[in-house]
Amino acid sequence: SDGYEHLRVERHGPVALITLDRPKALNALCDALTVELTHALDATEADDSIGAVVLTGSAKAFAAGADIAEMQPKSFTDVYLADFITSSWERASTTRKPIIAAVAGYALGGGAELAMSCDMIIAAESAKFGQPEITLGILPGAGGTQRLARAVGKSKAMDMVLTGRMIDAEEAERIGLVARVVPSSSVIDEAISAATKIAGFSRPAVLMAKESVDRAFETTLAEGMRFERRMFHAAFATEDKTEGMGAFLDKRKPSFNHR
């Protein structure tokens, strides 16, 4: 839809579902796909009727990494001057609205890094995560040494980054890389239903909560606690706080207007 070549965007009520769709290369993240994804995320961010985003791939591959055929001829100067590939890849991690990665099949290299840039990963039983860059004579370049180490700790991160070993969904859940593992046939439904639930809550509260969790990875505990407290106080200024607490006391469902 929307004239994209390598992805599809569909609406499910307040949720935008972005599906990577480059089947001939297992959704390898070529430059054109990356540009389209950035554009699609800009569009969901700008659309007030969207409360949350789900990013997914195919049953066989979420994404098998950066496009190796495109990378092979590039020199140091090429990638350095273009700031390959950070500039475009930061988009998923800078989205203010919640974004859930629904991962089935391979999430490798830049594909695993893209999934980790989302707020949480819901994995199909078929999911396989890995940082195989080392097998190509390079190393991860979009968070595979940083977000992965924060998510799973040093030993597991070193294991994956230095050996290139793939882990399955069960191991990924055990080590805290993914939030949930679900049957492969229901991974998109599960992610859409989680996103729909999130989109139904007070948007300012959701964005403040996301921003606060993200602070935990950027700052000291004392500063993080202070940031959280300020956001918590700010939430008391919203109409949605009055509505949410009032609805509880009236024993009815709240109707948030995202103000």
**Cis link prior to 85 (omega < 30° from 0)?**
yes
| Least distance to ligand CO8, CB of residue 250, Å | 49
Among 17, 40, 67, 126, which residue sits at the site for ligand CO8 (rule: CB under 6 A)?
A: 67
Distance separating alpha carbons of residues 230 and 25, to the nearest angstrom: 46
120: left (phi over 0), alpha (psi -120 to 50) or beta: beta
Q: Is residue 191 part of the contact set for ligand CO8 (CB under 6 A)?
A: no
| Residue 91 vs 203, nearer CB to ligand CO8 | 91
| Least distance to ligand CO8, CB of residue 36, Å | 13
Q: Is residue 106 part of the contact set for ligand CO8 (CB under 6 A)?
A: yes
Q: Is residue 55 part of the contact set for ligand CO8 (CB under 6 A)?
A: no
Distance separating alpha carbons of residues 232 and 225, to the nearest angstrom: 10
| Residue 142 vs 199, nearer CB to ligand CO8 | 142
Q: Is residue 108 part of the contact set for ligand CO8 (CB under 6 A)?
A: yes
| Least distance to ligand CO8, CB of residue 10, Å | 24
Catalytic residues: 66, 110, 113, 133
The answer for residues whose C-beta is within 8 angstroms of residue 1's C-beta and 6 or more apart is 8, 9, 10
Per-residue DSSP letters for 17-58? Answer: EEEE--GGGTT-B-HHHHHHHHHHHHHHHH-TT--EEEEE--
How many of the other CB atoms lie within 10 Å of CB of 223? 11
| Residue 71 vs 206, nearer CB to ligand CO8 | 71
| Residue 51 vs 143, nearer CB to ligand CO8 | 143
Distance separating alpha carbons of residues 147 and 87, to the nearest angstrom: 17
Among 15, 17, 26, 55, which residue sits at the site for ligand CO8 (rule: CB under 6 A)?
A: 26
Among 51, 57, 65, 200, which residue sits at the site for ligand CO8 (rule: CB under 6 A)?
A: 65
Distance separating alpha carbons of residues 61 and 104, to the nearest angstrom: 6
Among 15, 85, 104, 157, which residue sits at the site for ligand CO8 (rule: CB under 6 A)?
A: 85
| Least distance to ligand CO8, CB of residue 137, Å | 10
DSSP bridge partners of 129? 107, 167
Q: Is residue 36 part of the contact set for ligand CO8 (CB under 6 A)?
A: no
| Least distance to ligand CO8, CB of residue 138, Å | 7
Q: Is residue 146 part of the contact set for ligand CO8 (CB under 6 A)?
A: no
Helical H runs in the chain?
A: 31-46, 68-71, 76-81, 86-94, 110-117, 147-152, 154-163, 169-174, 187-200, 203-215, 221-235, 239-249
Q: Is residue 133 part of the contact set for ligand CO8 (CB under 6 A)?
A: yes
Which residues of this chain interact with ligand CO8, rule CB under 6 A? 25-26, 28-29, 64-69, 85, 89, 106, 108-110, 113, 132-133, 136, 141-142
